[in-house]
Amino acid sequence: MKKSYSFYMVIGTLIATMLILTGMKYPAPLYSPGDVTEKHSKLRCSDCHAPFKRAPSESCSVSNCHIVGKTGKKDAVKDLHNRVKGRDCLVCHTDHKGLKGKITIAFDHRDLPQKVRCADCHITDGEKAHKDKYGDQCQACHTTKNWKAVTFSHEKVTQTACVDCHRPDDDKAHKGKYGDKCQSCHGTKDWKKVSFSHENVTQTACVDCHKGPKDELHLSSGDDCKACHGTKAWKPAKLDHDRFFPLDKEHMVACNKCHESAKNYKVYTCMNCHVHATRGIIKEHAEEGIRNYSDCLRCHRVYMLGRTYGTDRTGENESMIDDDDHKYRGNERRRDHDDDDDDRKGLFKKWFGDDD
Amino acid sequence: MRIVVTRMSGLFLTIFLVVANAVLIEIILDLYDVNRHRLITGIAGTLIIIFSFAYSARKRKKMTFGSPKNWLKWHEWLSIGGTFLILVHTGTHFKALVPVITLIFMSIAFVSGLIGRYIYDKARAELRDKKKDLKEAGLTQEEIERNLWSLTVASEALSKWRAAHMPIISFLGVMVLYHSISALYYAGF
């Protein structure tokens, strides 16, 4: 038998009637769009709702639940409720947002009188976020639509010292060395984005900020970091050896060839290649009362690659060498230097004589 | 076989698009804590779906405006649109039993409608030869379409489908009424 819509609708209505009857006894599971707040949880639907009407404000004050003039913890809130007396509670309040749901929704702040300050109702949370630094012009960052959604701008901050709000973090990164001119490196758009310039640093000693390496090369170099390092980048470092002695083709040897002790690079010797007769040199210098005979350039002058190295102690030291053997210029290499390095000792022997 | 796969894909694609878009809109609205759309989308969706049943009235000659074939097309599109709005209206709120049961019936009716459309297309394809005969008999294009529609909706497969679709729609109608009245009872006008 073919059934019509009406037939099924009657069946459906019967089922719905059963649901309606169940709903009369247990309405919440059938109709409640969400749990009511904890404090309302013991109420029946009919305590707040009236048939075919929005929950009337009268329901709120029935049984003295919410008494106008006493509603709210703060005086300003009580005062506000007094002034909006007679208005529909549902303009600002709602429910069915869950047991812990927020039942106060945004209301029109324009209803408030001019003299009411934000802090009269809102918790200023001075200790937590503001630290009482932002003044009392809340509207500089906050809006009445959403207290938590803030649009921060440094231009609106009345205080000027950065460390009033920002952690100075002296122990961590600055070590108290950069002074209080934060803006030298930091911008107001992003505190963590820094553009560092050494020109802004008030202290001059590199080691005040940079940790000097503890290896022997650096320990023997002292605090003269700029001899090798630049301010644009700490690495790479470049040692201008020419300042002390040019490492030309003939002198491009391992460091310890001249600097025998890595503990102090100021100590050097030429005699590992330039084989002077040691005993003869000791004797010769001793005759002059010179004990420090190993620092050749202290007294002897050498002219190399267009520069003079060493000290001219003419008059102070008679053994000052300024002869043709040490005086050569640029590419005017001596014939002997073009020979094999292995023969170097022999050649030097030839130039400077044998022991004694 | 390829046609069957294509039609099945169309069926699932429609379901997916309607649900996915509703979910997307719900996510966006939830992000901005917007709730005011619930009432309007609920009422609009319901009215649109009710209006789509003008097809049923036209088919039963309760009214004479428009061709049944065109009304079928409107019935399909309006049902899809209405279902979409109801899904946006529901959002992620599945707390109260009455609205949830209503939603379940609407979803079943929606899928059932799409299956009906699938059966309709299949029946129509089987009548392809008939179209040729009607053309040769000298009928105009409009007459051919009307004729084919009558034959298609009268097919056995569609009759069987209708036997299942009709009670679903009936129960849905009752639940929509029940949900609307109960919502107005508690939330007011």
Instruction: Please name which of A49, A146, A127 lies closest in space to residue A95, comparing C-alpha atoms.
Output: A49
Judge whether A51 is closer than 8 Å to chain B, CB to CB: yes
Q: Which of A328, A282, A323, A288 is nearest to A304 (CA)?
A: A328
B97–A16 C-beta distance less than 8 A: no
Residue that has been written with the tokens 């719900």 in this structure:
B26
Q: Which residues pair with A302 in a beta bridge?
A: A309
Mean pLDDT of A207-217: 74
pLDDT band for A324, please (50, 70, 90 cuts).
Answer: very low
Q: Does pLDDT of A326 surpass 60?
A: no
CB of B138 less than 8 A from some CB of A: no
With contacts defined as CB-CB under 8 Å, which chain A residues touch B158? none
**Which of A51-65, A300-314, B80-94 is predicted least confidently?**
A300-314
Distance, CA of A186 to CA of A192 (rounded, Å):
7
Is B32 at the interface with chain A, CB within 8 A? Answer: no
Residue A177: per-residue pLDDT: 65
Residue A131 confidence (pLDDT)? 63
For CA atoms B72, B78, B81, B82, the dihedral sign is: negative
At A303, give phi and psi (nearest 5°).
-105, 115
Query: pTM of whole model > 0.80?
Result: no
Encode pLDDT of A23-54 as tens digits: 888 898 999 988 999 989 888 888 889 898 88
Name which of A81-90, A198-207, A335-344, B43-52 the model is least confident about: A335-344
ipTM: 0.77
User: Which range (A334-348, B54-68, B142-156) has the least confidence?
Assistant: A334-348
- Tell me the shortest Cα–Cα distance from B100 to chain A, in angstroms: 9
DSSP A264-289: -TT---STTTS---HHHHHHHHHHTT
Task: Name chain B contacts of A51, Cβ cutoff 8 Å.
Answer: 185
Write out pLDDT tens, residues A251-310. Answer: 788 888 888 777 777 778 877 777 666 677 777 778 877 777 777 777 776 766 666 776
Locate the chain B residue with the closest alpha carbon to A2. B163
- Cβ within 8 Å of residue B29, ≥6 positions away: B35, B37, B88, B91
User: Does residue A204 or residue B140 have the better pLDDT?
Assistant: B140
**Residue B50 clears pLDDT 70, i.e. is over it:** yes
Band of the pLDDT at A200, cuts 50, 70, 90? low
A1 CA: distance to closest CA in chain B (Å): 11
